[in-house]
Structure 1
């Protein structure tokens, strides 16, 4: 069976391409690497969509897997952003516009439908210790729309309306994410870490943090020449005054998540598809740091962006290898073992 969580592999691969293309320090071979990763992400997107149509299931009665319906719209927009940054000419704009529109509409549906289903279905009532990083998946998609939509603003005739829409999308995601992150913090403090297979989802918290910093940076840049002063200037101020503190909290959370992950690895961290949580969320912190480095000219932020990019590439290599080994090299076991909670794959 195929579930929506498989789209996380597209997100994780696509963000490597985007991070490479926007890294504040460019070096020989980086553009070629970014292009190769974008093409791989696009290929994965087609493959996962095809597999989902042929043998996918909705998992709408699974309180955990249901959350991962936030992944398909983000996968579409991640590949779209890579197309705009790395693809050829006018085709790139048209393709990105189609993918962004589809991803945004689907993301808005998911952002409303999944919480609504949780609130109105008694069978999906959450236990006091149920909050986990996956709860952010449905609501972070509009923030991805804001960040990737900002890239489209200079290329479309309705740039001002698109810019304002992106700010509204950022607001949807930002306030919802604050609510969910608060619940995750409370769960960790009151009920501790919980099952080992849930630990990678702690990294999803970095997603709305890093993506929001990236979004406000790109929106601020796109506001120039689109919004009149003082609003264009204000957009630049927001990008910095919001971005730096939020990046600080993201690094703080990354330290906590690293400590918990290392502790769990020492005890036993089983491989599941949630390991892809080590990629996309980290990638958003890379793009956030790179954006702030470009905006401020800070050598410290530039060096940090490069270090985080190296961490991202390393994490992607490990997770992609484990995914391939568990699903491509041992297909006979994969066919016999159905997907269960968080898709615990054969080891």
Structure 2
């Protein structure tokens, strides 16, 4: 199929086929600028300026995608039910709150240079919105999976199941970033809510990883259209590790002079131990993901929106690695963090470029839930095919 200019595509057709997996663009782009912020300035002198530029780009795309997604639900309400009933596309609703996290963290990190202290309040406001979204999808999707969605079989299962679950712990890690910017009851509330959000996600994510390993052992690797899901387990493990490390430090600094201060030292130590253990588990999945990916590439791996799975999971695992370096001062964590950062930036440039090409031609605007066929994996393959 010949490429057609994006400008010539019918806008209503694009809106009708706009899917929540587009928010993975924000996830990958957002974690990229946050990773640049983690690199020492003496190693990368332009990291602050470049991070700010990418943050603005991320905000632009988040606003654009939010507008298109909301407009789709208003103009085409008949597409909402098929989207919610689709066993794969519905999972990407979890990408929406995760996409908002880098944006709000950017307001806390970069915002004061442009908006003053008001940027911190904006970050907190967006964080509470994110809490509602993360908890909402974290309850809604498992409920739909258990009641009305079909086609959920062990042989069809992939790590995509993690997406609505992981959203809560991503929000929890953002709470660990924001809490030090506040004091008093505000900081304490952020920390308590974040710990609860962490438990909403990580234990359930562990159970999904167990099922995923069973599925891989009994039914082998999924279809190549879902190849990048091999990287998704790094998401809950990297974010879970990062969340415990950040919340442990924030708790020790916030709870002083009251009862809970007696256990704040324990929570800081517990955060480090838990974070290190989750990081180690993530390292195992990191190597396995590379082995699976090399096998897929040898067999031929066409581009689809799932390629954004190469970015965000690696990014949060990188962030956890850098946080372990700050806590321990072990050079090995800094070296590994830099290696992971290099991988992330290379993947982001590659995927971002291909995505822009797909947006311009219009072939990426195809909603799996609107396919005439409803079985798996056929419509999944059809809706993710590309013309290189």
Q: Give TM-score scaled by structure 1 length.
A: 0.94
- Relative to 1, partners in 2 of residues 1:338 and 1:69: Cα closer, same or farther, differing over 3 Å? closer
Tell me the equivalent position of 2:384.
344
Given that residues 19 and 367 in structure 2 are in contact (C-alpha distance below 8 angstroms), is that contact kept between their aligned partners in structure 1? no
Tell me the equivalent position of 2:4.
none
Deviation at 1:247, TM superposition (A): 1.2
Q: Distance in 1 between matches of 2:359 and 2:164?
A: 26
Secondary structure of 1:341's counterpart equals helix
Give yes or no for the alignment of 1:12 onto 2:28.
Answer: yes
Tell me the equivalent position of 1:266.
298
Alignment of 1:149-160 (within 5 A): 149-156=175-182, 157=184, 158-160=186-188
Deviation at 1:169, TM superposition (A): 0.7
Given that residues 21 and 86 in structure 1 are in contact (C-alpha distance below 8 angstroms), is that contact kept between their aligned partners in structure 2? no
Give yes or no for the alignment of 1:79 onto 2:103.
Answer: yes
Tell me the equivalent position of 2:49.
32
Deviation at 1:53, TM superposition (A): 2.1
Output one character per residue of 1:141-191: Cα deviation in whole Å (capped at 9) or x when no partner: 110111001122133442112211111111111111001111111100000
Q: Distance in 1 between matches of 2:343 and 2:355?
A: 18
- Relative to 1, partners in 2 of residues 1:315 and 1:334: Cα closer, same or farther, differing over 3 Å? closer
Given that residues 65 and 341 in structure 1 are in contact (C-alpha distance below 8 angstroms), is that contact kept between their aligned partners in structure 2? no
Q: 1:49 aligns with which of 47, 50, 66?
A: 66
- Relative to 1, partners in 2 of residues 1:152 and 1:338: Cα closer, same or farther, differing over 3 Å? closer
Given that residues 41 and 47 in structure 2 are in contact (C-alpha distance below 8 angstroms), is that contact kept between their aligned partners in structure 1? no
Deviation at 1:341, TM superposition (A): 2.3
Tell me the equivalent position of 2:147.
120
Tell me the equivalent position of 2:250.
222
Deviation at 1:24, TM superposition (A): 5.2
Output one character per residue of 1:59-87: Cα deviation in whole Å (capped at 9) or x when no partner: 11210101110000111122111221121
Q: Which deviates more, 54-63 or 246-255?
A: 54-63
Q: Distance in 2 between matches of 1:10 and 1:111?
A: 19
Alignment of 1:242-321 (within 5 A): 242-321=274-353
Give yes or no for the alignment of 1:234 onto 2:269.
Answer: no
Q: Distance in 2 between matches of 1:93 and 1:40?
A: 20
Tell me the equivalent position of 2:7.
none
- What 5-or-longer segments of structure 2 have no aligned partner? 1-16, 74-78, 369-378
Tell me the equivalent position of 2:359.
327
Q: 1:23 aligns with which of 39, 42, 45?
A: 39
Tell me the equivalent position of 1:161.
189
Secondary structure of 2:301's counterpart equals coil
Q: Distance in 2 between matches of 1:109 and 1:25?
A: 39
RMSD of aligned C-alpha atoms?
1.7
Q: 2:167 aligns with which of 125, 135, 141?
A: 141
Structure showing greater radius of gyration is 2
- Relative to 1, partners in 2 of residues 1:116 and 1:297: Cα closer, same or farther, differing over 3 Å? same
Q: Give TM-score scaled by structure 2 length.
A: 0.85
Q: Distance in 2 between matches of 1:136 and 1:321?
A: 26
